[in-house]
């Protein structure tokens, strides 16, 4: 017999903008589902994407620069970001971190689009 938990337990945490010690980018998963949906805290420590590298993701990504400064490059444009600026990057929209400050901290939300994304205009047109 299946028994359902009456009250699944909440969890809490503190989003720190301290970059602490260490080298290179670190990723902390704050919430995640088996289907790939997740919330991440990313500390860049000045580490831009390697030359020639592009992110090409299955998920739509909503990402906010919580602290620091950065520039994100797309195939046809570049966007400069300061703390509080956010980007909505549709799945398969190729992008890279062109530059990023030592104190940069990101909050990234990945949303797997099993259904066609409303932002991917042009997809599925005949």
Q: Which two tokens stand for residue 8?
A: 């699944």
Return d(Cα 68, Cα 84) in angstroms, integer: 9
Give, as ranges, the residues between 23 and 52 that touch a second copy (CB under 8 A).
Answer: 30-35, 37, 39
Q: Which of residues 66-105 bind a second copy (CB under 8 A)?
A: 74-77, 79, 84-95
User: Judged by CB, which is closer to a second copy: 6, or 23?
Assistant: 6
Strands 105-112, 38-43: pairing is antiparallel
For 126, residues 6+ apart whose C-beta sits below 8 A from its C-beta are none
Binding residues vs a second copy (CB under 8 A): 1-5, 7-17, 30-35, 37, 39, 60, 62, 64, 74-77, 79, 84-95, 107, 109, 111, 113-126
């Amino acid at each position: 017999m299946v028994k359902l938990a009456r009250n699944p337990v909440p969890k809490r945490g503190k989003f720190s903008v301290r970059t602490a010690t260490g080298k290179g980018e670190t990723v902390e998963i704050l919430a995640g589902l088996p289907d790939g949906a997740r919330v991440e805290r990313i500390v860049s420590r000045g580490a831009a994407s390697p030359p020639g590298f592009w992110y090409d993701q299955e998920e739509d990504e909503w990402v906010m620069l919580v602290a620091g400064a950065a520039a994100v490059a797309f195939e046809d444009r570049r966007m400069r970001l300061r703390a509080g600026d956010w980007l909505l990057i549709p799945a398969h929209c190729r992008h890279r971190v062109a530059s990023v400050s030592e104190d940069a901290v990101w909050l990234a939300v990945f949303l797997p689009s099993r259904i066609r994304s409303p932002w991917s205009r042009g997809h599925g047109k005949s």
